[in-house]
């Protein structure tokens, strides 16, 4: 097993964690230098007019596509696996998953922002521990599509600190 595939193993796609899963998948695909298969398309068909380079590309594309599909399918729950196992290529699977889970709902985004806004430092809570919670809330909001500029982040953090 590829060392980076352990990263994906810790993040099995279940629908609620699409963005984290996709980020980890990209790390693994980049490590194996096969991310290109998600954007390059397969040659239409092998014909007698193809050059040896075209034939080599066709073979390489199929090999890399199968590897990418294996990574994608191996690290999703069994229900999603059954839905996607028959799809022809890795790019189609990724597109379908994005359509299913990649768009965040407005309520999810608002919930994440409100969790950040409602965060208050408890009396005698170490600043380090509190800032770790802040970072976690900001990451969650960002993963759900919230865009909070740096000035607003600083203002919200300062208001959440104990006097």
9-67 pLDDT tens trace: 667 888 778 888 888 888 889 988 999 998 877 766 666 677 888 888 888 999 999 99
Domain boundary among 56, 85, 102: 102
Strand partners, 76: 13
What pLDDT is recorded for position 143? 73
How many domains, in total, are found in the chain? 2
User: In 3-state terms, what secondary structure has residue 13?
Assistant: strand
State the residue range of the domain holding 23: 5-102
Distance (Å, whole) CA 59 – CA 66: 11
What pLDDT is recorded for position 157? 85
Q: Is residue 104 scored above 80 in pLDDT?
A: no
Question: What DSSP line would sit under 4-69, residue for residue?
Answer: THHHHHTS-B-STTHHHHHHHHHHHHHHTT-GGGGTSPPPS---TT--HHHHHHHHHHHHHHHHHH
Residues with Cβ within 8 Å of 105's Cβ and at least 6 positions away in sequence, in order, are none
Share of the chain above pLDDT 70, in %: 87
Residue 53 shares a structural domain with residue 121:
no
What pLDDT is recorded for position 8? 58
Residue 27 shares a structural domain with residue 98:
yes
User: In 3-state terms, what secondary structure has residue 122?
Assistant: coil
Residue 95 shares a structural domain with residue 110:
no
Distance (Å, whole) CA 57 – CA 67: 15
Residue 97 shares a structural domain with residue 141:
no
Residue 16 shares a structural domain with residue 76:
yes
Strand partners, 13: 76
Are the CB atoms for 141 and 112 separated by under 8 Å?
yes
Residue 122 shares a structural domain with residue 146:
yes
């Amino acid at each position: 097993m590829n060392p980076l595939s352990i990263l994906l193993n810790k993040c099995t796609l279940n629908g609620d964690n699409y963005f984290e899963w996709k980020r980890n998948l990209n790390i693994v695909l980049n490590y194996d230098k096969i991310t290109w298969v998600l954007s390059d398309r397969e040659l239409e068909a092998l014909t007698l007019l193809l050059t040896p380079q075209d034939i080599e590309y066709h073979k390489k594309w199929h090999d890399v596509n199968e590897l990418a599909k294996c990574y994608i399918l191996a690290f999703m729950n069994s229900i999603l696996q059954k839905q996607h196992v028959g799809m022809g290529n890795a790019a189609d699977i990724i597109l379908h998953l994005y359509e299913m889970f990649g768009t965040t709902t407005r309520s999810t985004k608002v919930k994440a922002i409100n969790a950040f806004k409602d965060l208050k430092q408890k009396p005698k809570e170490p600043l380090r521990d509190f800032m770790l919670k802040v970072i976690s809330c900001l990451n969650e909001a960002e993963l759900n599509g919230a865009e909070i500029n740096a000035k607003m982040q600083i203002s919200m953090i300062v208001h959440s600190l104990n006097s």
